[in-house]
Structure 1
């Protein structure tokens, strides 16, 4: 069984560790607030991805294919949410400054990020289709995919948050902080482009 699950684990790890909206947000939160205060965000993202993978495996993919308007609404909501987060990050300064980003993004916002992110949908729907043979029925596949993607996301987000923490130790001036936050905000906004490409 371990031999058959390994490709799924690798797929989940590669999918979650590559740069995107969630990883950029984890990096920004680590730099701005530190690891401990970023844990609720990372837990929300990991649980959001786990529940999304479980839902995809349980058959929610059929609903999206049957209702293209729902998929478009999901893309629009995801785009607006990510642009709002990108603006908040991009306008923030050093952690001590009173800015719009006065506290870390929380658990619920992290979970919503994945449910509104078409990249997350594409990743989990692809996994549900590709690895359906690993389970005897949809509930078992939902449990397997949810667990795998949740653990992979937790690991990946931890690495990205720690990278943000290391960046924070290198930054000494307000100007350096503004440049980092501006770059992270732009990266988050840029992560929207692939969701609109065919």
Structure 2
């Protein structure tokens, strides 16, 4: 077995760079605090771990072989992320009543991850690039699942903590409108790389 360091470096960079999940973790931390955002973060991390395992088992190959299925996944995922971006951008301060009243649940975080085009791209890319690290698809699935799941937990916790810090800095409704608009725009922008 060759070194897994390149895989770990890839996974850390892929999960810590800004995207839909990190933007949602930041927005949730700012709006609801760290503890109330844990279900969202766990849902995303579990979703990514399962998606990485599925990619390691071969679904990635199926998506690469069927471009129409890949396009459908990207379209549905992009539409959902754009809807969330719109909701975040239009929300005001946490106590204004015009944003989400409750944080995203574990199940919704899990489902959201499966609709995120960046997640599909990075897990399929990892499965294709690092397939020789394991002696079987099952071992590759376990390796990818563990690497992506742990890295996602750490990354999302960091981004959520940033959101908590931003919430302490923002005091006025205007500050919150600017933050929410920025988070919405960043989330919407995270869809662009999926269509290149």
TM-score, reference length from structure 2: 0.96
In terms of mean alpha carbon deviation, does 3-12 or 171-180 score higher?
3-12
How much does 1:29 deviate?
A: 0.2
Aligned residues between the structures: 196
Provide the residue aligned with 1:180 in structure 2: 179
Partner of 2:64: 65
User: Is 1:33 aligned with 2:32?
Assistant: yes
Question: Quick one: distance in 2 between partners of 1:56 and 1:90?
Answer: 33
Q: In 2, distance between residues paired with 1:184 and 1:174?
A: 15
CA RMSD of aligned residues (A): 1.2
2:78–2:117 CA contact under 8 A, matched in 1: no
> After TM superposition, which residue ranges in structure 1, 4 or more long, deviate above 2 angstroms?
none
Equivalence for 1:117: 116
> Which runs of 5 or more residues in structure 2 are unaligned?
none
Question: Retained in 1: the 8 A contact 2:117–2:191?
Answer: no
The yes-or-no answer on 1:133 pairing with 2:135 is no
Instruction: Name 2:3's counterpart in structure 1.
Output: 4
- Quote how far apart the aligned CAs of 1:100 are: 3.4
Following the alignment from structure 1 to structure 2, what is the Cα–Cα distance between the partners of residues 111 and 27? 17
Tell me, in whole angstroms, the C-alpha distance in 1 between the residues paired with 2:190 and 2:145: 23
